Structure 1
Amino acid sequence: MFKADLPGLKEEVTVEIQEDDRVLQISGERNFEEENNDTWHRVERSSGRFTRRFRLLENAKMDEVKASMENGILTVTVPKVE
């Protein structure tokens, strides 16, 4: 199971499985928050593109991988052969 904290992101996140290399790839992009008001002075979130790659074990069931996003937490479940 993989978990990633991605607050404020939804459709901007992509989960891919590269079956040839047995690699799980999580990627996305956070756009810079820009507002034209004077109520705040600093943004604590980074912006830009990101990619993370994880090599999966030989006993991973590649065709049964499931991903879900809830409250800014991406959960990717990779079942294994018993």
Structure 2
Amino acid sequence: MTTYLPALMSSIGQESFDRQIDRMFDEAVRSFGMARTAWAPACNAWEDDHGFYVQVALPGWEAKDVSIEVENRVLTVKGERKDEETPGRTVHVWEVTGDQFVRSFRLPTFIDHNKASASHKNGLLTITFPKLEEAKPRRIAIAAE
């Protein structure tokens, strides 16, 4: 009897094969309602002369399902939503998951968290913290003698 598993593994690679096995196991466990894989959205954080920014990738999420808090210089972004359950639907692939998440970031001391703002556009949540005036770069004129 000939086995095709080694040929299959060499053609798709061991790492890809392992990911597929992990995904199948996760889906099997999820179908029994036993557990869910932890999910956290991808994030970016940067600063410029005017502020500090945190961007969270939330495709398919609505702003009403997300909360933003700042406490003790820690920004916490939380989300929770319900999966759409459709009777009679047979799921073949379920990769766009994420029924809940929490991401936290330590904020720098040079920002004014009381003047923070947030926008949600094209699946990206962007939180903007303006820099304190004393933290902004400034030019110093040189006096001519």
> TM-score by structure 1 length?
0.83
Aligned partner letter, 1:70: K
Residue deviations 1:21-64 (CA, integer Å, cap 9, x gap) = 11111001132232234576322212332111111111111111
Asked which structure has the greater RCO (Cα within 8 Å, sep 6+), the reply is: 1
Greater share of strand residues, 1 or 2? Answer: 1
Moved over 3 A (4+): 37-40
Aligned counterpart, 1:12? 65
Q: Distance in 1 between matches of 2:87 and 2:98?
A: 18
Letter in 2 for 1:3: Q
Gaps of 5+ in 1: none
Structure number with greater Rg is: 2
User: What's the C-alpha RMSD, in Å, of the aligned pairs?
Assistant: 1.7
Structure 2 gap segments, 5+ residues each: 1-52, 137-145
The 2-side partners of 1:39 and 1:33 are apart by 13
1:56 corresponds in structure 2 to 107
- In structure 1, what is the equivalent of residue 118 of structure 2? 67
Which has more helix, going by share of residues? 2
> How many residues matched?
80
Question: Percent identity among equivalent residues?
Answer: 38
Question: More deviation in 41-50 or 71-80?
Answer: 41-50
Q: Distance in 2 between matches of 1:40 and 1:48?
A: 16
